Structure 1
Amino acid sequence: MTAWSKIMSLIQDYQQIILLLHEKPDGDCLGSALALGLYLQGEGFQPLIYHPEKINREFSFLPGQDLIKYYTKQVLPEKPVIAVDCAAENRLLYTLPQNVPIINIDHHQSNTFFGDYNLVEPEAAAAGEIIFRLLQNAQKSISAEIATCLYVAVATDTGYFRHSSTTAETFFIAGKLLNYGAAVDLIREHLFEKRPFKELKIIKIALDKLQFAQEKRIVWTALSYEDLAANGLLNIDTEKIISLLRSVAGVQVALVFKELEPRKIKVSLRGKQGYDVNLLAQHFNGGGHAQAAGCSLEGNLKESVNLVIKKTADLLEKL
């Protein structure tokens, strides 16, 4: 039985299917969920992508936006759930329903296998790769709209094919998606030629607060709630910042600390070959991939930074 056949066997008796995103969904998470939702819609289901937070408008150009529903109740209704690109149940922002199928589709090494059916492939460069292979085994062909969503999923999670997770399979899938009609001109326009001014503003603040350790093998910046709130930057993504820091010659580990609320801190971690930041993230109850991971902390920003940087240095010394 193929993975697609298994999923169909679990949801075939239901009309509405809930698709879940992780907190602060990125291009892979959102693109993969939209692609799967559009395909399920074409199969006669009523997919609902639930999320309790405002979603980054960076990806508002993607097809299928009408599938996204702002759902604020903590407990989900008794309908099958497909979690996409979510490593652990605590990243879903909801309490999962009982007595219905829970399907977990993900590519993180740290996945906790919380589903009744777990399609977890850590070797995949993106959740979009898994969704692509899944739909390849389905009956209908992939539409141009679905291809556009999946291309964004794969491209963004591989750093536009720059990360070490990129494989020959990744390029093969990207080529197939182009053949299916992925709108690369539209993608380029929105992701590279329509950047918000606030993104430059947050980069400036981040660079002003740049610090190094371990002979510049570690670089980090810490963005306080006060600075972010004062400049209207709380909802601005920091992916460009972490990529910029990681690109510095000699740096092995880059970190961005973002205080989303007073004493609630999101930490983004990026490493180069030879340093597994997933191990560092797991030490603080987070997770991810070898070269890209994250965690959340509660406490004083300065103290939290010192704690994580010390642990980063300790692990770096063991290499």
Structure 2
Amino acid sequence: MQIQYEVLEPYGERVLPIEPLLAAHTIVLSTHVNPDGDGLGAGLALMRGLRALGKEVRMYLDAPIPERYKYLDYDGDVMEADAMAADFIRDADLYVALDTNDMDRTGRPYVMRGDAPVCAIDHHLGDVPDHVIMICDTDSSSTGELVYRILVQAGVTITPEIGEPIYASMVYDTVSFRFLRNRSETLRLAARLLDLGVDATRLQEKIYMNKPVDMPRLLARAFKRAEFAYDNRIAWTILDASDLADLSVDNDDLREVVSMLISLRGVEAAFVLKQAGDKQYKVSIRSKEHLNIFSIAKRRGGGGHAHAAGATVDGDVGPIIEDVLGEIAELLS
């Protein structure tokens, strides 16, 4: 169910439905499979904040935490949902999914849960079952920014240990504050966190200056296939399974491909098709400020934002490209 909120004070704090978080004692946190900087940063901040309130909180993933994010989890608190975790997950008072409103996308932790209430914390709109408590604020730059508001409302003192993953979450989802939706609140919060002692230089280096040595080969293969249409206003490329088989890259590295395409002069929309299986492709779409491409992803069962969205699509690559290209062209006309 979608929860409406009211403005609490000029900075933009919201009255959010956090009662389930306050009422629970044992809490399981998770995020979507192939976790990213937003979901993990938000989860770590929420875990540390709720622990400060005396709650027993653990974060479980469908798979081990990606190597690139271990600098945020310096205590090794984020764990894989394996047999040793089964009892805690099953018996917890509350199950919380971060940075997704599709519970199934959290994988094994959701399957292993018991009868506890389920809560989704996300800054994307989505359709959720009636039994899911949805804490959503689409004005937030990231799930991490939303978690900050939750913790402040809960009376948690924001320490550098809590502020660091929130800042990392914001940096990740705004692409280093390039996409702010013309809101000053995000930058104000970033300034607050720096004043607390968050080391922005260190985090920027960890997020953006830590690319794998295979990155140039990935970009070369992607751009060799890049195509343009409608007077170069649309750009796209394909990465099939053979392109990735011999490269040590992950989903965050693949994000760089579509980000570079949309950064080209004159390009107003860009998309990348990455093969995910036999006749199955993950479509990542980006657009510039005036073009809302969210509906293209949503019609295919995906989600995201007005200018950054994606979906997993079944079918042959040719028709998928034609369909996506056609819908973008309609938006441009």
Report the alpha carbon displacement of residue 311 of structure 1 after superposing the two structures with TM.
2.9
1:60 paired residue number: 70
1:240 paired residue number: 256
Q: Does the alignment pair 1:31 with 2:41? A: yes
Question: Partner amino acid for 1:254?
Answer: A
Deviations 1:12-32 (A, max 9, x none): xx33x1111112222111111
Deviations 1:158-208 (A, max 9, x none): 121111425210011101111222121321221233322122221221111
Q: Does the alignment pair 1:177 with 2:215? A: no
Segments of 5+ residues of structure 2 without an aligned counterpart are 6-14
Report the alpha carbon displacement of residue 107 of structure 1 after superposing the two structures with TM.
0.7
1:197 partner SS: coil
Q: Does the alignment pair 1:137 with 2:149? A: no
Report the alpha carbon displacement of residue 214 of structure 1 after superposing the two structures with TM.
1.6
Question: Partner amino acid for 2:52?
Answer: G
Distance 1:180 1:111, change over 3 A: farther
Deviations 1:18-58 (A, max 9, x none): 11111222211111111111222333333222222344322
Greater alpha carbon shift after TM alignment, 24-33 vs 106-115: 106-115
Greater alpha carbon shift after TM alignment, 303-312 vs 273-282: 303-312
Conservation of the 8 A alpha-carbon contact between 1:263 and 1:298: yes
Q: Does the alignment pair 1:10 with 2:23? A: yes
Q: After TM superposition, which residue ranges in structure 1, 4 or more long, deviate above 4 angstroms?
A: none
Of 198, 219, 222, 1:203 maps to 219
Question: Partner amino acid for 1:231?
Answer: L
The count of residues paired between Structure 1 and Structure 2 equals: 314
Q: Distance in 2 between matches of 1:302 and 1:182?
A: 47
Question: Partner amino acid for 2:239?
Answer: L
Report the alpha carbon displacement of residue 251 of structure 1 after superposing the two structures with TM.
1.1
Q: Distance in 2 between matches of 1:201 and 1:55?
A: 25
Question: Partner amino acid for 1:58?
Answer: R
Conservation of the 8 A alpha-carbon contact between 2:239 and 2:275: yes
Distance 1:302 1:51, change over 3 A: farther
**Please, what TM-score do these two structures have when normalized by structure 2?**
0.85
2:54 paired residue number: 44
Question: Partner amino acid for 1:6?
Answer: E
Q: Distance in 2 between matches of 1:111 and 1:152?
A: 27
Q: Distance in 1 between matches of 2:239 and 2:254?
A: 10
Report the alpha carbon displacement of residue 71 of structure 1 after superposing the two structures with TM.
1.6
Segments of 5+ residues of structure 1 without an aligned counterpart are none
Q: Distance in 2 between matches of 1:235 and 1:103?
A: 26
**Please, what TM-score do these two structures have when normalized by structure 1?**
0.89
Q: Does the alignment pair 1:81 with 2:95? A: yes
Give runs of aligned pairs for residues 246-261 of structure 1, distance below 5 A: 246-261=262-277
Greater alpha carbon shift after TM alignment, 245-254 vs 82-91: 82-91
Conservation of the 8 A alpha-carbon contact between 1:104 and 1:114: no
Of 90, 112, 137, 2:128 maps to 112
Conservation of the 8 A alpha-carbon contact between 2:64 and 2:79: no
Q: Does the alignment pair 1:91 with 2:105? A: yes
Greater alpha carbon shift after TM alignment, 55-64 vs 200-209: 55-64
